[in-house]
A = this chain, B = another copy of it.
Amino acid sequence: MSNSESLRPSGRAANQLRQVKITKDFTKHAEGSVLIEFGDTQVICNASVEERVPPWLRGQGQGWVTSEYGMLPRSTGSRMRREATAGKQSGRTQEIQRLIGRSLRAAVDLKKLGERTIHVDCDVIQADGGTRTASITGGYVALSMAIEKLLADGLLSESPMVQQVASISVGVYQGTPVLDLDYAEDSTAETDMNLVMTDSGHFIEVQGTAEGAPYSMDELQAMLALGQKGIGELTQMQRDALGA
């Protein structure tokens, strides 16, 4: 399908990612720091190493990887209430940061990490759809950078990374399965599915929600195929960014 025929607001082909850009060392303090952009979506992913584990893991000879997610109040089209002012994180925020943490833990052998925690903070500077998938994809790079630093500093002798983890959204927009929904598509799509996958094409997480009409088995299969293609491209970009 040529761009000129595209039904997508952005003019993209149905199976085309937005322009993805990964900028390393975006801030100076974090052990791993990345700005990841999916088109106009921009997320800072900072990985911080802490030399201890949560209380419930102490003394078990393993590490932990966890994540927190936030959005600047005006990262969105109209200003949202700041969660620190509201006094709590929304259900949506908690759901997203639980997903990011779970996904990134799949990339790491926690036993090999040793008794330390890596916090991956994903803060959305500008939102245009797909902030959680960008957070996972960029968070993996920040996490890898922090691990590289631990290796370079001699705090780890062997890498605990076991596989690459990336994430992408797929959906059904105006009846057509499409890859990597932006906000214009996401806000009106009938179905929105987030996939978290490995570089070998296995699944870590599948989360598909019918926003409008329920979707059929055929639509599900089409979305899974689009996702596999996108994940292949993203894991290549991660390797390029990490110089691997």
Contacts and interface: CB of A to CB of B under 8 A. Distances in A.
Given A48-B79, A73-B121, A95 B94 contact: yes
Given A94-B91, A206-B207, A29 B106 contact: no
B106 A214 contact: yes
A172 to B, nearest CB: 11
Nearest to A128: B28
Contacts of A48: 73-74, 78-79
A158 interface: no
B70 A84 contact: yes
Contacts of A201: 217
A72 B94 contact: no
A16 interface: no
Contacts of A28: 40, 126
A40 to B, nearest CB: 7
A70 B46 contact: no
Given A93-B84, A121-B74, A198 B214 contact: yes
A31 to B, nearest CB: 9
A124 to B, nearest CB: 10
A138 to B, nearest CB: 14
A44 B26 CA distance: 14
A186 interface: no
B94 A82 contact: no
A82 B68 contact: yes
B214 A202 contact: yes
Given A27-B75, A48-B74, A204-B209, 10 more contacts: A27-B42, A27-B74, A70-B82, A73-B121, A84-B86, A84-B93, A91-B98, A95-B98, A198-B214, A200-B214
